[in-house]
Each structure stands twice: as structure tokens, then as C-alpha cells.
Amino acid sequence: MMHAIRFLSIAALCCSCFSTQRVPGPMSQESFVLPLGHGADYVPGPSELVVLRHGDPVQVRRPGTSVGFPLSFYEKRIRLGSGGWVLSGMGGRAEILSPGSSSSVLLFDRSAVMVGEPTRAEPFLELIHCDRASIHLAPGDHIALVGGMELEGDPVLEGGPFDFRTTGRDRIEIANHGRSIGTILFRDQRLSLSPGEVFELPILPGGSGPLTRGPEPYLLAVEPGSWAGDSPFATGEVQVLDDPRGLRIRATEPSDVTGLGVKVHLSVGEEVLFQRLDEAAVTPQP
């Protein structure tokens, strides 16, 4: 009996001398800032949409927050401002309504959409990811589809329903089941989607959204023989001033002026003087 007690004492002493902690020890948790995600730097506006949950799972994320919360059976209706998100999983179904208009989107299965700000000429809704959706558009409204391309309704008539589907990793399908014509803005193209038509479009790696174009450049009116270089042109409103040294231009609005192979950006009231190096310098008259 004494031998057994002595053995247990030695075993307990040995266990107390050794640690079961693995070497090396646990990693310390370091704080770091995650990079901005899609819409993380979005500035909210006054517009709001109404979100209705028709089938689980559906979550919403309010503007400026990074955590969402589910819509339950008893609280399945919520107003969501621009910059907010609606997220649904497989089997989920959510309807997004625009108060004061007939625009609406019914989401099926997996989707992630962000509320836009129409007062800034943005689409009222942006589909970041969407398996399937049924879209109705009020006259003049537009929505951003997966990949960045935009769908516009008829400027006068109600548009839709448009049946949207993501058919692959890099391809979407949009069908017009309504009675009015829709327009798809795809890069530099405006594609008319007539009733009964179905378009299948690619999701380009660089984005399929419409290209933003600035004002068209125009040639500046200069007197014949007063300018020896290539024809100068500008974008924006400018004035051509009399100057014996060369071509002097003043901007009356933010403009880009190109002459002698040089492009210059001018703010309101700024001037630029184009003068060839092989011309004799002329001292301006006081």
C-alpha cells in the first residue's frame, strides 16, 4: 500500500514538473485593418427602399455598418437607405420596393445587392451577385446588373417584368417579358431589348458597365495664317484672346486645351499661351 501511495506521489510530482503546452506557444492576436470592401467607402444619401422577406434566409445590413442581421417571420419588413445591403442565401426570397414608384426587384436564392442613390443619378439598386431576379422599372429608372452593366426602362411606359439570371461565372441572361422596350448599357453600346427578346451577355474582367464620357472636343476658331501648328482643340468653354506672341486661351469653365502636341487642363479664369520655339519672341504691348 505504501509503495502504491509513493508511486502516485511521484507520478503527480512528475506531472506537475512537465507542461502539456505545445512548443512554440500560441500565436498572439495582432490588430490590423481590413481593406475596404465593395461599398465600404460609400457616402449614403436620403433615398430609401423597402425590403420584404418572403422566404429564409434573408439578411440586411444598414449603411455604414459591417454586420448584418436576419429578417425574421415577425419582423420581415424594413426600410433601408442608400449604401445598405440585402443578402439572401439558397432558398431565400426577398422583394425590394421603391416607395413612390412602381420599381421593384424580387430576388431568388443567393444574392447580394446594394441600395443606390438616384438623386446622384445612380441606379436605384446594384446587383453585385444574383442567381435570379424579376425586375420591374418605373419610367426613367435604371438598375445596375451583375458585372456593372445597366438596365434602363422605357422613358414613358412601365418596364418589365425583366427576368434576370446568372448562367455562369462570366455570363448573364436578361429576358424582356413586358410590353415596353428596355435598354442595356454595355460598355459603349446601347442595346435595345424588345418585348420577347432574350440577351446573353458576358461579364468582362475589367467591368461591363457603361463607359463615362466627357464633353466632346471641338476645334478652336483661329484666324488663317495666325497659327502655324496643328489645329488646336478644346473640351469645355474657352475664349481665344488676341496676343502677338502666339495662341492665348482663357477658360470660362474647367477645360482641357490641346495645341502643339501639349494638353493643358485649365480651371475657370486660367490662361495658357501656345508659342512655337522657332518663332521670334515678341514683347507684348503694355
C-alpha dist (Å) from residue 274 to 35, 65, 232, 267: 45, 52, 10, 17
Question: Does some domain include residue 34?
Answer: no
Q: Specify whether 88 is located in the same domain as 175.
A: yes
78 and 175 housed in the same domain:
yes
Q: Give the contacts of 245 (CB within 8 A, at least 6 positions apart).
A: 273, 275, 281, 282, 284
Of 148, 177, 202, the residue at which a domain comes to its end is: 202
Residues 6 or more apart whose CB falls under 8 angstroms from that of 36 comprise none
- CB–CB of 158/101 below 8 Å? no
What is the maximal distance between C-alpha atoms in the chain?
Answer: 123
Long-range contacts of 206-215 (CB under 8 A, 24+ apart): 207/147, 207/148, 208/147, 208/148, 208/149, 209/144, 209/147, 209/148, 209/149, 209/150, 209/185, 210/148, 210/149, 210/150, 210/185, 210/186, 211/187
Instruction: Tell me phi and psi for residue 18, to 5 degrees.
Output: -115, 145
- Whether 173 and 167 have beta carbons less than 8 Å apart is answered as yes
Query: Does 136 lie in the same domain as 245?
Result: no
Instruction: Round the average pLDDT of the chain to a whole number and report it.
Output: 81
Instruction: Output the CA–CA distances (angstroms, integers) from residue 153 to 162, 180, 184, 223, in the order listed.
Output: 10, 8, 9, 48
Q: What's the whole-number mean pLDDT along residues 30-42?
A: 50
Are 162 and 85 in the same domain? yes
Domain co-membership, 176 together with 132: yes
Report, as an integer, the average pLDDT of 250-255.
86
CB 67 within 8 A of CB 97: no
* Ramachandran assignment for 205, one of left (phi > 0), alpha (psi -120 to 50 degrees), beta (any other): alpha
Tally of domains within the chain: 2
Indicate if 152 and 86 belong to the same structural domain.
yes
What pLDDT is attached to residue 26?
Answer: 54
Q: List the domain range (segments joined by +) for residue 124.
A: 48-202
Please compute the mean of the pLDDT values over residues 191-199 and round it to a whole number: 93
Alpha carbon distance 240, 250 (integer Å) = 7
Q: How far apart are CA 285 and CA 228, in angstroms?
A: 22
pLDDT tens digits for 74-90?
A: 889 999 999 999 999 99
pLDDT above 60: residue 196: yes
103-134 per-position pLDDT tens digit: 999 999 999 999 998 888 889 999 999 999 99
Asked, for residue 72, whether it belongs to a domain, the answer is yes
Cα distance from N-terminal residue to C-terminal residue, the chain: 121
Measure the CA–CA gap between 106 and 96, rounded to whole angstroms.
Answer: 6
Say whether pLDDT at 257 is over 90.
no
Q: In sequence order, what DSSP letters do the residues of 66-101 get, joined into one string?
A: S--EE--SSS-EEEEETT-EEEE-TT-EEEEE-TTS
Q: Among 116, 117, 145, 148, which Cα is nearest to 130's?
A: 145
Q: What is the pLDDT of residue 29?
A: 43
The C-alpha atoms of residue 229 and residue 246 are separated, in whole angstroms, by 10
What's the rounded mean pLDDT across residues 145-170? 91
Q: What is the pTM of this model?
A: 0.63
**Whether residue 206 has pLDDT greater than 80:** no
| Of 281 and 32, more confident | 281
In a shared domain, residues 191 and 236: no
Q: pLDDT at residue 38 above 90?
A: no
pLDDT above 70 (res 24): no
pLDDT tens digits for range 43-79? 788 889 999 999 989 999 998 888 889 998 888 999 9
